[in-house]
Amino acid sequence: MRKDAESIGRGYVQIYTGNGKGKTTAALGIALRASGCGLTTCIVQFMKGQHYSELEAVKRLGDLVTIEQFGHPTFCRITEPPDPEDVKRAGTAMSRLRELLESRACDILIADEIVTAMKFGFVSEQDVLDLMRAKPDGIELILTGRGATQSLIDAADLVTEMTEIKHYYQKGIQARCGIEN
| For the chain, domain boundaries | 5-171
Q: Do 34 and 107 meet the contact criterion of CB atoms below 8 Å apart?
A: yes
Asked if residue 98 lies in contact with residue 123, where contact means CB atoms within 8 angstroms, the answer is no
* Residues shown for the chain: 181
- What does the pLDDT read at residue 5? 45
Neighbouring CB atoms inside 10 A of 134's CB total 12
Task: Say if CB 158 and CB 12 are below 8 A apart.
Answer: yes
Over the chain (181 residues), the average pLDDT of each successive run of 10 is 64 97 94 94 88 83 92 76 91 98 97 96 97 97 98 98 84 71 67
Q: Would you state the pLDDT for residue 83? A: 87
CATH superfamily of 5-171: P-loop containing nucleotide triphosphate hydrolases (3.40.50.300)
In the chain, the amino acid numbered 150 is: Q
Structure confidence at residue 49 (pLDDT): 66
Instruction: State the pLDDT at residue 76.
Output: 63
Report pLDDT for 180. 67
86 Cβ contact list (under 8 Å, min separation 6): 72, 76, 77, 120, 122
